[in-house]
Structure 1
Amino acid sequence: MADHDLLIEKLGRAITPVTRPWLPHWRVIAWIATALPCGIAASVWLNRAHTDWSQAGAVWSILQLLLTFSAGTLAVRNAFLLSIAGQRPLSWKWFAMLASLWLVSTLLNLHLHHAPRIAGHEEETNCYLFMVVVSAPMVALVIGYLRRTRTLFPARSLGAAGTGVACMALTLLSLCHPTHISLADLLMHIAATATIVAVTIVLGYKWVSLAD
C-alpha cells in the first residue's frame, strides 16, 4: 500500500482498547479467592477426613499451615511481579527462610509425634494424590492469570507460580491430614511439590512467553 496515511488510519480504526491489568496484590487476592475454592471442590472426589485438631502435634500443624499459606501467597505474588517490567520481586532468601522453618517444624513434629501405621487403613489421605489433584485447577488459573500479561521470564514466573500452587495444595492438605506425620508423608509432600512445579512450567511455558 503506497498511501501510508490511509494504512495508519485503517490500523487505528482496528485498534481496540487495552484493559489495564490489576495491581499485583489485587491479582494475588483475586487468584486466592478463586483458586482455593476450586482446589477444595476438586478434593471432594478424594478419600479424605477433616483434621482432628485435638490430636498431638496440632500446634506444629497450625504453624506449618501458616507457613505454607504465607509462602504460597508470596510466591504467587512474585510470579505476577516477574510478569511486569520494572517490578522487583521478593528475594529468594525469604523463601529459603520460610522453607527452612517449614522443614524444621515438620522434622520436629516427626520426631516428637510418631504417626501410627495401621495396615489396610482406608481413611488416610493419600498425600501425593491429594496435592496433585487439588493443584490441577489452581495451576490452570495461575497460567490464565499470567497469560494476561505474559512475561520476559516464563520459566522463573512459572516456577514461582508452581511453588505458590504447591504451597496452597499443602495448606489444603493440612485441613484433612493427621496432625502427626511420618517420613513417608514428608517424602510424598516433597515429591508432589516437585511434580506441581514441573507441570506448571511445562504446561504454561508456551502460554505465558512473550516470544509466543
Structure 2
Amino acid sequence: MGSHDLFIEKLSREIGPVRRPWPNGKRVIAWLLTALPCGGASSLLFQRVLTDWTQPGALLAAFQLLLVFATGTLAIRNAFLLSIAGRKPLSWRWFAPPILLWLGASTLSLGQAQGQIHHPDEVNCYAFMLAVSAPMMAIAIGYLRLTRALHPLRTLATAGFGVACMALSLLSLCHPVEVHPLDFLLHLAAVMTIIGATVLLGWKWVVIR
C-alpha cells in the first residue's frame, strides 16, 4: 500500500491542471472566425469570377447558400458537443429538413441549366472544395484534439460534414447561379471526400488513448 501512496504522490506532483474548454457557442464562433478566412485565402489559388447575383435564379442560389451555411454551422456545433462526454447534440432529424431543401433547390437549379453551355472552369469545383476545406479541416481537428472524443468516428464524420458545407458555401460565392449535372456530381463527390479525409486524418488526434 505504501508503494501506491508514493505512486499517487508522484502523479500528483507531475500532473498539470486540466484546461477547461470554452463554452460550445464560443468554440463554434471562434472556429468560424478562423476557418472561413483560411478557406477563403485558399480559394485565391483558383482563378474564379465572383457570383453574379443579378442573374435569373440568383435568389434560389442565395437560398442554397444560406441552407448549407446554416447546416454546416449546426454540424460543427454537433461535432464539438460530441467531443465532450455528457453533452447532448442535435439528432440527425434536425439536419434532414435543410438537406432535403438543398437537394430540392439543387434539382430546380439543374432544371434551369438545361440546354445552357457548360462553363469550362466548372470542372475545378471538386479541386476547389478540397483546397478550401484543407485548412478548415485542420483547424476543426485541432479544436477536437483539445477534448478528444468518446465516439471519434461519429465526431469526425460530423465535423467533416460541417467543413464540407462550409466549402460548398465558399464555392457558392464564385460559381454561376445555375448548376449543371456535372457540377452537382462533383459537389457531392467533394462532400464525401472531405468527410472521409477528416476521419482518416483526424483519427490519430481525436481518439482517446
- TM-score bracket, normalised by the shorter chain, equals over 0.9
> Does the Cα contact within 8 Å between 1:115 and 1:182 map onto a contact in 2?
no
1:106 match: 106
Q: Distance in 2 between matches of 1:74 and 1:174?
A: 19
* TM-score, scaled relative to structure 1: 0.93
> Does the Cα contact within 8 Å between 1:139 and 1:162 map onto a contact in 2?
yes
Partner amino acid for 2:132? V
2:162 match: 164
Deviation at 1:125, TM superposition (A): 6.6
1:45 match: 45
Deviation at 1:207, TM superposition (A): 1.1
Deviation at 1:115, TM superposition (A): 7.1
Q: Distance in 2 between matches of 1:169 and 1:115?
A: 27
Within the alignment, does 1:201 sit opposite 2:199 as a pair? yes
Deviations 1:131-150 (A, max 9, x none): 01000001111011111000
Aligned residues: 209
> Does the Cα contact within 8 Å between 1:115 and 1:180 map onto a contact in 2?
no
Q: Distance in 1 between matches of 2:160 and 2:14?
A: 37
Where do residues 20-39 of structure 1 align in structure 2 (5 Å cutoff)? 20-39=20-39
> Does the Cα contact within 8 Å between 2:123 and 2:183 map onto a contact in 1?
no
Measured at CA, do residues 115 and 206 of structure 1 come closer, stay the same or move farther in structure 2, by a change above 3 Å? Answer: farther
Partner amino acid for 2:25? H
Where do residues 44-193 of structure 1 align in structure 2 (5 Å cutoff)? 44-114=44-114, 116-117=116-117, 121-122=120-121, 124=122, 126-193=124-191
> Structure 1, unaligned stretches of length 5 or more?
none
Deviation at 1:64, TM superposition (A): 0.4
Q: Distance in 1 between matches of 2:118 and 2:156?
A: 39
Deviations 1:22-58 (A, max 9, x none): 1111111110110000000001111211111111110
> Does the Cα contact within 8 Å between 2:118 and 2:180 map onto a contact in 1?
no
> Does the Cα contact within 8 Å between 1:39 and 1:169 map onto a contact in 2?
yes
SS in 2 for 1:126: helix
Deviation at 1:9, TM superposition (A): 3.0
2:18 match: 18
Deviations 1:94-125 (A, max 9, x none): 11211100000111122134473257x45x57
Identity %: 56
Deviation at 1:10, TM superposition (A): 3.0
Q: Distance in 2 between matches of 1:90 and 1:118?
A: 39
> Structure 2, unaligned stretches of length 5 or more?
none
Q: Distance in 2 between matches of 1:190 and 1:101?
A: 15
> Does the Cα contact within 8 Å between 1:78 and 1:160 map onto a contact in 2?
yes
SS in 2 for 1:81: helix
Runs (4+) off by over 6 Å: none
Deviations 1:152-199 (A, max 9, x none): 100000010000000000000000001111111111100000000011
Partner amino acid for 1:137? P
Q: Distance in 1 between matches of 2:115 and 2:18?
A: 54
